[in-house]
Chain A
Amino acid sequence: MKITIYAIFPLISALLGYSLGLFVYFKNKRAKINRCFLCQCFCISTWYLGLGMSLINDTQWNNFIKLGLTGVILAPIAYVHFLVFYFEIKILNKVLKLYYIFAFISLISLYTNKFFFLSQIFRYNWGKYPNAGIFETLNLLITLLTISYMYAFFFIKYKTYKGKLSTTSEYNRFKYILLSFTIFAFSAIDYLPAYGIDIYPFGFIFFDIFAFLISYAMIKHHLLDINIVVRKGVIYSILVTIITLIYFIIVYISEIIFRGFIGYKSIVLTLTSIVLFILLFQPLKNKIQSFVDKYFFKGSQEMLADENERLMEEIRRSDRLKAVATLAAGMAHEIKNPLTSIKTFTEYLDEKHEDSNFREKFKRIVGSEVDKINTIVSQLLDFAKPKLLSLQRTDVHKLLDETLSLLSNELIKKRIDVVKDYGAKEASIIEADPNRLKQVFLNLFLNAMDAIKDGGKLIVRTKLPSERQTLEIIIEDTGCGINHKDLPHIFDPFYSTKESGTGLGLSIVHGIIKEHGGNIICESESGKGTKFIITLPS
């Protein structure tokens, strides 16, 4: 028994494969995809266990190589299960039985020493390797056929669904799972020594990368959004292949040139290789990275942007749901008050309907309470399910003027001076929904008018901050201001400091500005006035 470096690598891969398979399996035992992965890992790891042990223990070589080949024979079944489950290739499901039958016959043949020709062995520098028998060749052909079928299926589907899938995560998943398997397909290099080609079976490198990629994707991304991981995987696979090839070339050439030289030691060769690798690693990685980005991940930036947009939409939706939950609680309270009045008045209707005073109160109070409920419900609908923005080129200055002229009578009555300072000039024309913006201005002006009790100023300014591509609209009043305690809550639905008011006005304003991709902040000091600063993309 002799432990060599050639045996250690496959044994490490086997250990890694078994552990990863089990790890992924125990993460979610019930998930079919995790079980498929476990089977695949076990099959391939068994091959590496058999191979590694056969290189260590020469007396038991036959048994260990049989163990390894058992994994190789069973691997296509696990692979097909994965494809059937993941890609939903139904036709493969129908032929799955054939895979089982073939594997069964292969195993019988292997263990009865028929057709596997284990007596015919290739002897290489790194160890013994079995000659490929008829079943091993068939096994290789079947695997290649399955992989080709998967590619064909993918390209047919890709053509059909290209337009539909190009922006969805489903397409990404589809494409990158395929790439992971492509990396894995390189491990078929292990077949080469079985046909007499003197190459150390280093397919374990690709298996290791594949196993890591898939397990990482399953656990971290639930098999979603794995493009970044796979991109790295592709880059490092190519890098490892090139470095290994260079190493083999160096070994081969130096064996030929320096064999006869006195003092030639393999340590010199190893050191030279290490120096070379250190020097080559980064530039080579960069080159491969730009190559991979150019040919494999052309659309990755756009897809990433799509994904970001999708995630942002989800955040917005969940924010809105949270707000609706707050609204529902607030709404329940706001509606309970008018309901109480309506209920009490109807309760006393029989007893007091002849009382004219009661009738007058009934008419007034019940009527106004019904209106109140109607207002709350309409505003709630506006808030919870905002109408789609109808964006068009909108002159903000014109819109501000129009809104102010709507209120001109009230402004005069309340002795409010309007001061305009439109610093943004022609840059005030932006892409916006004029009706929704008008609602914003109207709400803010009405708030300012409420805050100014006995004459004051309403200052409306616009400006373009030099460092940003935004338009700033400032609406300022010299009214009573907002208490510092209330300031953090002014945009909360149903938060009101006014005697009459639903507390929805400012939350609707906030929602509209956010829908426009802008921002609104409020500065206020009790007794001195309030300033709203709106920022909109220009």
Chain B
Amino acid sequence: MAKKKILICDDEEGIRESLNLILERDYDLSFATNGPEAIEHVKKNPTDLVILDIKMPKMNGLETLKAIKTVKPNIKVVIATGYKCVETATEAVKYGAGDYIVKPFESKQVLETVSKILK
């Protein structure tokens, strides 16, 4: 069975590489460093899931989420947030995010969240 395609969008290299370490074995990964790049990627490439950071320059995670959902309404999105904040998560869910992970995250928790949402 082909690996599911995940796009990781975060402006921090450290976070991108960390998610790469956690997910590379089971998934086919692509990377974007900001919102517009992520939108372009999902427009052009088949993508099953986007892991989106909330706090990013140029375009924040929620704005990117809205734009992605306009382009590809069925795409699944997981929000990665440093704010352990119910409001951000609720707002993200309102705009179509399936789940969220809180930084600093555990690899087990990331794997579980991703596999659950991609089932």
Contact between B14 and A368, CB atoms less than 8 A apart: yes
Known: A496-B57, A498-B57, A499-B57. A336 touches B18 (CB 8 A): no
Alpha-carbon distance A345/B107, docked complex (angstroms): 10
- A140 part of interface (Cβ distance < 8 Å): no
Residues of A within 8 A of B17 (CB): 341, 345, 361, 365
List CB contacts (< 8 Å) of A368-394 with chain B: 368-369
Interchain CB contact under 8 A, A499 and B11: yes
**What is the CA–CA distance of A497 and B82 in the complex, to the nearest angstrom?**
17
Interface residues in B, total, Cβ within 8 A? 21
Residues of chain A lying within 8 A (CB to CB) of residue B21: 344-345, 348, 352, 358
Is B112 part of the contact surface with A, judged by Cβ < 8 Å?
A: no
B interface majority secondary structure: loop
Interface residue tally of chain A, by bracket? 20 to 34
In the assembled complex, the CB of B37 is this many whole angstroms from the nearest CB of chain A, namely 12
- Scoring B residues 27 to 71 as 1 if CB is less than 8 Å from chain A, else 0, what string do you get? 000000110000000000000000000010110000000000000
A340 CB contact (under 8 Å) in B33, B34, B58, B104: B104
Cβ–Cβ contact A340 & B55, under 8 A: no
Query: In the complex, A145 Cα to B17 Cα: how many Å?
Result: 85
Is B26 close to A, CB under 8 A?
Answer: no
Complex Cα gap A343–B18 (Å) = 9
Per the bound structure, the CA–CA distance linking A339 and B15 in Å amounts to 9
Task: Tell me the complex Cα distance, A339–B105, Å.
Answer: 9
Q: Is the CB of B12 within 8 A of A333?
A: no
How far, in whole Å, are A343 and B22 apart by their CA atoms in the complex? Answer: 12
User: A368 — which chain B residues lie within 8 A by C-beta?
Assistant: 13-14
Q: How far is the CA of A368 from the CA of B15 in the complex (A)?
A: 12
Q: Across the interface, do B55 and A369 meet the contact criterion of CB distance under 8 Å?
A: no
Tell me if B55 and A344 are in contact (CB < 8 A): no
Q: Is B13 within 8 A of A339, CB to CB?
A: no
**CB-based contact B18/A339 at 8 Å:** no
Known A343-B104, A344-B22, A347-B107: A337·B57 in contact at CB below 8 Å: no
**Is residue A332 within 8 Å, beta carbon to beta carbon, of the partner chain?**
yes
How far is A347 from B34 in the complex, measured between Cα atoms in Å? Answer: 27
How far, in whole Å, are A340 and B55 apart by their CA atoms in the complex? 15
With A and B bound together, what is the CA distance between A336 and B22 in angstroms? Answer: 17
B83 to chain A, nearest CB (A): 6
**Once the chains bind, are B57 and A340 in contact (CB under 8 Å)?**
no
Is A365 touching B57 in the complex (CB atoms < 8 A)? no
Q: Is the CB of B104 within 8 A of A339?
A: yes
Given A333-B82, A333-B83, A365-B13; A345-B57 close (CB under 8 Å): no
Identify which of A332, A341, A496, A499 contacts B14 (C-beta below 8 A): A341
CB of A338 within 8 Å of the partner chain: yes
Residues A336 and B11 in contact in the complex (CB < 8 Å), given A365-B17, A498-B57: no
Chain B residues near A337: list those with CB within 8 A. 12, 14-15, 82, 103
Residues of B within 8 A of A352 (CB): 21
Q: What are 17 A-B pairs at a CB distance below 8 A?
A: A332-B82, A333-B83, A338-B14, A339-B103, A340-B18, A340-B104, A340-B105, A344-B19, A348-B107, A352-B21, A365-B17, A368-B14, A496-B57, A497-B58, A499-B11, A499-B33, A499-B34
